[in-house]
Amino acid sequence: MRKLTMSMSALAGLSAAALIAGTAPAGAQEPVGAPKVLGGRGHALVYPSGMEVAPDGTLVVADTGNDSVAKFTAAGVLKWRVSAGVGAGDEAENARDIAVDNQGFIYVADAAEFRIIKLDGATGKTLMTFNGPSGDRLGSPIGITATNNKIYVSDGAKKKVRVFDTSGNQINAFTANGACDLSAVRDADADAAGNVYVANYKFNNIVKFRADGTCDKTWGTQGTANGQFKNPYGVRLAKDPKWGEVVYVADSNNNRVQVFSKTGVWKATVGRTGAYNETGTFTTLRRVAVAKDGDIWGADLWGWRLVRFNRTATGYAYAQTIGGLKPPTTSTAVFNEPRAVAVGKDGNLNIMDTVNQRIVKMTKAGAIVDTCGQRDYRPVSFNWPRGVAIDPVTGDRWVADTKQSRLQIYPNKCGVQTFRLGNVGTGLKQFTWPFAITIRPSDRLAFVADSWNNRLSVWDAATREPVETYAGTFKSPRAISLDAATGNLVVADSANNKIVTLSYTRGGGFTELATLAPAGLSMPEGVARDANGNYWIGDTGNDRVLIVSPSGAVLQTITAAAGKALSEPTSITVDGRTVYVSDTNNDRVLVYRI
């Protein structure tokens, strides 16, 4: 049975700050009944952002899309999977890379929590965490390697490589000097002499530092020829049976591994671009690992697979794939963190399936119509999209492509993306991690929750041009919806833990009408106003949904549905007397009738 907690007397527990002015008549609200459930868990076996070959030959994987660390046998049998310490309440993309020291201990680069987690190699149990010295904490640990009994951490945000001992004490750091300029570092490793090699993502080169931190050399330019790179993402030093200690580079957007001498002389290229089910290829290569016998493994994140190439007497030959099956698309197994729901002109639902990097179109009965979008190396691909809205005139789908800080426009029938709007920045035509979008039919204006710019952005859907931005006092707004009765906007001001109602007219700008701040609200990522005038709030940080009257009374608290506790409910959409709640970490959408 679904657990419901009613709080008809909650108004007394709310402070004066929890008042909101009614902008539409509020009808009586009966407790909502059991919802219909759409979708269900639709995960790939593995979404590998990083991997390593352990001393015993097992494979340890930073499984980004499954918010976990997994260990496989070399034959591909799953030994264990843990999420403790890398995903409790966090985004699924936290575990970005993995390292294993010579004793078998595992180290996880947990990017969103700005820390390194040390795990027991046999059980996956968390042993400790560390995040750098007090005056210089980790900014974004995105790559990690264990070599020479030291832990090398690529701090992308602070453009440096940090070196820790196995107890978590920082003992050194490598920063730009001389010809060794750094930008968006993705990975680093060291040779037996202590020289450090850096995958310099944006500059399309490998940077080599001497053990004392001074610049030795760089090699590589942007391109597709041998010795050139398109965004090198991973680097590993290991002994090859023929060449001795060499440098292996995961050349991500060329979808290949390149092998070099320690002075930068090219020796071999392994793999090429191909579909997830095409052997000997990579779709979106991220990291490289090397077995003791010289076999090469590639972590192919959006090919959902680990790929092994056998070291032969004359080169390399494809040998094995672990995973390599795309996420399922059945009515009961389809989602990996669903967020925004938009009702199309054809009456079908368009649901943003964030981790699977796609829009899922389904009927209101739950039958899959199609899917649209994917993540790969092309400019039109998604990168953790969270919001979707429908143009009321064309039926086009406007997508908040969150981690690429832009909007993408797709036709109603899944096809080629037609427009990309904006890029990262703070200007009028720019965004920084937009989370949500809604389009008002009366004037065809699109309103975007430009979350990391702490503002709203207004666009003309007809001309696809920006109109203006509005900051107010917002702090990371993550949801925006339209009150159908009034045309006003309702915003989840997430980091301020409140709901803000605003009016907007072109030329007249925004006017803040009221705020709502139920006691204990924690990082809300969903809000909408129903046909009775009441507010449905995705109280994401508390794993619950609140139904709140215009006067601020909490009418109902939903903490469970269909026999399962809610887990990070985010987007909420109202369509007439139907309310859609994205129970995000349970990979389902709940449908309530009021």
Average pLDDT of the residues in 448-456: 98
Output 24 or 486, whichever has higher pLDDT. 486
CATH architecture of 50-323: 6 Propeller (2.120)
Q: Return the pLDDT at 9.
A: 32
> What pLDDT sits at residue 19?
31
More confident residue, 378 or 589: 589
pLDDT surpassing 90 at residue 90: no
Average pLDDT over residues 349-362: 97
Question: Residue 93 above 70 pLDDT?
Answer: no
> In terms of Cα–Cα distance, which of 567, 564, 524, 561 is closest to 543?
567
How confident is the prediction for the chain on average, in pLDDT?
92
Could you tell me which of 334, 418, 416, 422 has the C-alpha nearest to residue 373? 416
How far is it, in rounded angstroms, from Cα 54 to Cα 121?
9
Reported pTM:
0.90
Q: Does 13 have pLDDT greater than 50?
A: no
Average pLDDT over residues 99-108: 97
Two tokens, residue 11: 């108004």
Please give the Cα distance from 398 to 391 (Å, whole number).
7
Q: Is the pLDDT of residue 271 over 70?
A: yes
69, 106 contact by CB (below 8 A): yes
Count CA atoms within 13 Å of residue 232 on its CB side.
32
Q: What is the pLDDT of residues 167-177, one digit of tens each?
A: 999 999 999 99
Who has greater pLDDT, 379 or 299? 299
Look at residue 28 in the predicted model and tell me its pLDDT.
47
Domain ranges (residues) in the chain: 50-323, 327-593
DSSP E strands: which ranges in 506-541?
509-516, 526-529, 535-539
Task: Kindly list the distances between the CA atom of residue 554 and the CA atoms of 497, 548, 549, in Å, as whole numbers in the listed order.
Answer: 15, 4, 6
pLDDT at 567: 96
**Residue holding tokens 């492509």?**
401
pLDDT of residue 417: 64
Query: Region 538-564: what's the mean pLDDT?
Result: 97
Q: Looking at the predicted structure, is the pLDDT value of residue 14 above 70?
A: no
Domains 50-323 and 327-593 belong to one CATH topology: yes
pLDDT band for position 541 (cuts 50, 70, 90):
very high
Compute the average pLDDT of residues 243-249. 98
3-class state of residue 64 by DSSP: helix
pLDDT at 165: 98
Task: Report yes or no: 190 and 237 within 8 Å, Cβ to Cβ.
Answer: yes
Closest CA to 452 of 402, 385, 399, 491: 402
Token duo for residue 460 = 């003309």
Residue 455, pLDDT > 70, answer yes
Residue 318 above 50 pLDDT? yes
Q: Is the pLDDT of residue 243 over 90?
A: yes
Q: What is the pLDDT of residues 32-88, one digit of tens each?
A: 889 999 999 999 999 999 999 999 999 999 999 999 999 999 999 999 999 855 444
Is residue 330 a contact partner of residue 360, using CB atoms and an 8 Å limit? Answer: no
* Token code pair at residue 244: 């001795």
Q: Secondary structure of the chain: what % helix, strand, coil (to 5)?
A: 5, 50, 45
Residue 459, pLDDT score: 98
Q: Would you state the structure tokens that stand for residue 46, as one six-digit string? A: 């593995």
In angstroms, the CA 567 to CA 572 distance is 14
Task: Considering the domain delimited by 327-593, tell me its CATH architecture.
Answer: 6 Propeller (2.120)
pLDDT of 533 above 90: yes
Q: What is the pLDDT of residue 245?
A: 98
**Nearest Cα to 348, choosing from 311, 315, 388?**
388
**pLDDT for the residue 29:** 57
Q: Is 88 exposed, middle or buried (0-12, 13-18, 19+ CB in 10 A)?
A: exposed
Q: How far apart are the first and last CA of the chain?
A: 19
381 vs 452, higher pLDDT: 452
- How confident is the model over 457-464, as a mean pLDDT? 98
User: Higher pLDDT residue, 8 or 296?
Assistant: 296
User: Looking at residue 211, what is its pLDDT?
Assistant: 97
pLDDT at 310 over 90: yes
pLDDT of residue 78: 97
pLDDT bucket at 377, cuts 50 / 70 / 90:
low
486 against 413, higher pLDDT: 486
The pLDDT assigned to 85 comes to: 52
pLDDT value for 474: 98
pLDDT at 91 over 60: no
Higher pLDDT, 323 or 16: 323
